[in-house]
Amino acid sequence: MAKHGRDGTKELEESVKRVKSDSENNENNGGETLLCGFQTSSVLSESVREKTVFVHGKLDGQDAVVIMEKIPFGEDSLTDLFTGSRLKLEMRNDIYSTYWLRPPPHLSEIKTTVVFPATEKHVKKYQRQESFLLEESATDYESITLPYIQGQSFSVQWVYNILEKKAEAERIIYEDPDPEIGFVLLPDFKWDQKQVNNLYLIAIVHKRNIKSLRDLTLEHIPLLQNILQRGKEAILKCYNLPASKLRVYLHYQPSYYHLHIHFTKLGYEVPGCGVERAHLLADVIQNLQSDPKYYKTRTLYFPLRADDGLLSKFKEAGRL
Ligand code: M7G
């Protein structure tokens, strides 16, 4: 299943072409008009700096969340941008002039993610909220967190679809099919795949009984080492990005309780890469090597948003 190219740039161009042809297919199978009937209920959050907006609304009477993000300039697109655009003068003063540039359609695309139908939990996930840092002892995990996540967490059907090649199969860049130490590596759906500067991939393990960092013990070291090693090699081959340019980590708490590892480009300040939520995979391996029960026994810290149900459980238990 591995599709490694020797020339990373070429591979990236090919994967961009793949994404374009996916979107062309999508236009043909009705995706083009999906949002025409979208009725906005509220803007959940927006960022002027990141040029993103998260919108809650209704589609066919059901809840939906639409995330839109203006994409960065890629060096490769500059020539097309200069030659194919029209300029509208805004003002001119001495040697200074400002314009509104109207790019050709293929350079004015907005990356759009649709969650439909969206659950109440999705709507909350994308709402701007105050966060609180929680302290979770091993006992808190057993008595508060575990029962909560067993009943309340997001469906991981999308993960099973990827592992079973029912969705995103053509996006997989590397797979080790081994049931114990194997995994699938593919672009995170947050990545536009237009440039490596904001590279974001996820490795999803084939093994189905590992919910999060808390479940990891000595027996998982070969799995974690395999992901770290082979994931780095695959990214070097596909995107020409060396391991020294990668941030490889797990989230605690994750949103989806099926073990997966984030691979992002170092220097790309993606939400969730801060010290309060991200655990470097290399550190996780070392911690397990020095203490096989490290993550079973340690107190772990993580932020939760004000309206997170788990936060209420910690409050009810007098732990916040
Ligand atoms: P997480 O740490 O469980 O939660 O990471 P977070 O979303 O709060 O960071 C899950 C990762 O999977 C995130 O980086 C998501 O962007 C990514 N992701 C989520 N979904 C539903 C999909 C999907 O359908 N396809 C792909 N390729 N990535 C997804």
Segments of the chain assigned to CATH 3.30.428.10: 129-316
Q: Which residue has the higher pLDDT, 51 or 13?
A: 51
- H helices of the chain, where? 8-28, 78-84, 120-125, 138-140, 146-152, 157-163, 221-239, 281-290, 294-297, 309-316
129-316 has which fold?
HIT family, subunit A (3.30.428)
pLDDT greater than 70 at residue 30: no
User: Which neighbouring-strand residues pair with 91?
Assistant: 98
Q: Which of 228, 196, 34 has the alpha carbon at shortest distance from 117?
A: 34
pLDDT greater than 50 at residue 20: no
Q: Which of 270, 146, 120, 277 has the alpha carbon at shortest distance from 214?
A: 146
CA 82–ligand 1 middle distance (angstroms): 35
* Ligand 1 contacts CB of residue 189 (under 6 A): yes
What are the catalytic residues? 260
pLDDT at 5: 38
pLDDT greater than 90 at residue 236: yes
Residue 75 DSSP SS3: helix
pLDDT greater than 70 at residue 222: yes
pLDDT at 314: 97
pLDDT greater than 60 at residue 92: yes
- The rounded mean pLDDT for the chain is 91
For ligand 1, mutation pick of 189, 264, 276 (most atoms within 8 Å of CB)? 189
pLDDT at 43: 96
| φ/ψ (deg, to 5) at 98 | -120, 150
Torsion of CA 248, 176, 233, 187, to 10 degrees: -60
Look at the chain and count its residues.
320
* Ligand 1 contacts CB of residue 256 (under 6 A): yes
Q: Which residue has the higher pLDDT, 165 or 14?
A: 165
CA–CA dist 248, 224 (Å, integer): 11
pLDDT in tens, 158-205: 999 999 999 999 999 999 999 999 999 999 999 999 899 999 999 999
- Distance (Å) of CA 139 to CA 79, 147, 163, 317: 59, 12, 33, 12
Torsion of CA 173, 176, 180, 186, to 10 degrees: 0
* Ligand 1 contacts CB of residue 188 (under 6 A): yes
